[in-house]
Amino acid sequence: IGNLVLDLSVLESGGLIDSNCFSSSDLNLFMSQGNQAWSNIRKQIQKLLNIDNPILRDNDLLRSKAFFKQSDVRMHLPANIGDYTDFYSSRQHATNVGSMFRDPENALLPNWLHLPVGYHGRSSSIVISGTPIHRPHGQVLPVDSEQPCLQPSKLMDFELEMGCFIGRGNELGKPIQTKDASKHLFGLVLVNDWSARDIQKWEYVPLGPFGAKNLATSISPWIIPFDALEPFRISDPIQDHPKPLPYLQCKQNWTFDINLEVHLKTKSIQFSEVIAQSNYKYMYWNLAQQLAHHTITGCNMKTGDLFASGTISGDDPNSYGSMLELAWKGTNPIKLSNGEKRKFLNDGDEIIMTGYAQGDGYRIGFGDVSGQILSPVSIG
């Protein structure tokens, strides 16, 4: 709420909201209660915060217990995250990567327009914004060499993504249809899916990324519920050529207009500089389609599972969501105002991603997700 944090456990223990879940150290119990409960609690909180409501407004003691300055609190991971899935759902990103590493004429692989491509990621290394990231060691194949070696990654990158938390899960064997997505999807956070491109290049065939992505994934602490994002729901992209199979067709739109920015701060500049401006609307496959595809096999979602969107790149080169694309595989380095150039991230560089939806006279802010690259740890 502005610069303040409202401690819902204080409202709950005072009987001011009808809930039983906010003294827990994570949101999982609340998330498991379903979309009626989510909307209901949101309405009760809005009522309490209304200027015409005296309960909080006129009670100094209660207010001093329930409100904290954001600068005085330390945020933790919002949920106990079980499984983490990373999709690859931005058409422009997939096209850019396919053009760089394969063939601009056939940038998208034959399956890409038929299904939301994804892989199962690693939840143990999902960290909260502000957590520093050591440059990872990994096996790479140096250029002009036939022998791989173990070394610190030289091509550290970020990926600008958004993440969706699963609220209610499904039973094993019972797929979720696109029309039921709103009963299961809880809300969105910002995601930086750190990526070591040299490790990725050597390891990813045939089963996809492994160590290049499992080193860490950073998320922003505040989950923005879909009720708050309703005014920013916009038309999904047209999917005509080809038309997806019926289980992936979707009547309700699941695309949202959310502005996203990536800032870079180096050791020698005082303030961070914007290096990319993108938008969550640049997604080809939406959340309902990702959920339907993920569960069509019978795979069960659990409360607290996280879906990441995949790198979100728009058409314009300054809307690309990774260093790999912004500097086009190192051929077009990013230039900062003090003359520094970057192809990939140096030790000491900090990446800060922010996001907001702009309403008429108000903003829904996502806060930010930040992380600094530290030198590699000693591995003996």
Chain residues binding Mn ion by CB under 5 A are 86, 159, 193
The contacts found for 322-329 with CB under 8 angstroms, 24 or more apart, are 322/93, 322/157, 322/158, 322/159, 322/160, 322/195, 323/157, 323/158, 324/97, 324/100, 324/157, 324/195, 324/197, 325/93, 325/96, 325/97, 325/100, 326/275, 326/276, 328/100, 329/100
One-letter amino acid of 218: S
Cβ atoms of 366 and 78 within 8 Å: the answer is no
Query: Would you say 41 or 161 has its CB closer to Mn ion?
Result: 161
- In the complex, the smallest distance separating the C-beta of residue 308 from Mn ion, rounded to whole angstroms, is 6
Q: Which two tokens stand for residue 146?
A: 């036939």
- In the complex, the smallest distance separating the C-beta of residue 131 from Mn ion, rounded to whole angstroms, is 18
Cβ atoms of 165 and 330 within 8 Å: the answer is no
Query: Would you say 159 or 236 has its CB closer to Mn ion?
Result: 159
- In the complex, the smallest distance separating the C-beta of residue 68 from Mn ion, rounded to whole angstroms, is 33
Query: Would you say 193 or 305 has its CB closer to Mn ion?
Result: 193
One-letter amino acid of 321: G
Residue 190, classified by CB atoms within 10 Å of its CB into exposed (0-12), middle (13-18) or buried (19+), is buried
Query: Would you say 33 or 279 has its CB closer to Mn ion?
Result: 279
- In the complex, the smallest distance separating the C-beta of residue 119 from Mn ion, rounded to whole angstroms, is 9
Q: Rounded to whole angstroms, how far apart are CA atoms 363 and 380?
A: 49
Nearest residue by C-beta to Mn ion? Answer: 193
- In the complex, the smallest distance separating the C-beta of residue 102 from Mn ion, rounded to whole angstroms, is 18
Which residue in 76, 93, 120, 293 is the catalytic one?
93
Q: Rounded to whole angstroms, how far apart are CA atoms 215 and 134?
A: 9
Question: CA 368, 369, 374, 378: dihedral to nearest 10 degrees?
Answer: 150
120 flagged as catalytic: no
Q: Which two tokens stand for residue 378?
A: 């000693």
Give the gyration radius of the chain's Cα atoms: 21
- In the complex, the smallest distance separating the C-beta of residue 209 from Mn ion, rounded to whole angstroms, is 8
Query: Would you say 159 or 368 has its CB closer to Mn ion?
Result: 159
Query: Would you say 83 or 170 has its CB closer to Mn ion?
Result: 83
Q: Which two tokens stand for residue 196?
A: 């070591």
Q: Rounded to whole angstroms, how far apart are CA atoms 258 and 280?
A: 5
Query: Would you say 28 or 290 has its CB closer to Mn ion?
Result: 290
Least Cα distance to 25 among 75, 67, 93 occurs for 75
Cβ atoms of 306 and 85 within 8 Å: the answer is yes
Question: CA 271, 326, 187, 252: dihedral to nearest 10 degrees?
Answer: 140
- Catalytic residue numbers, as ranges: 93
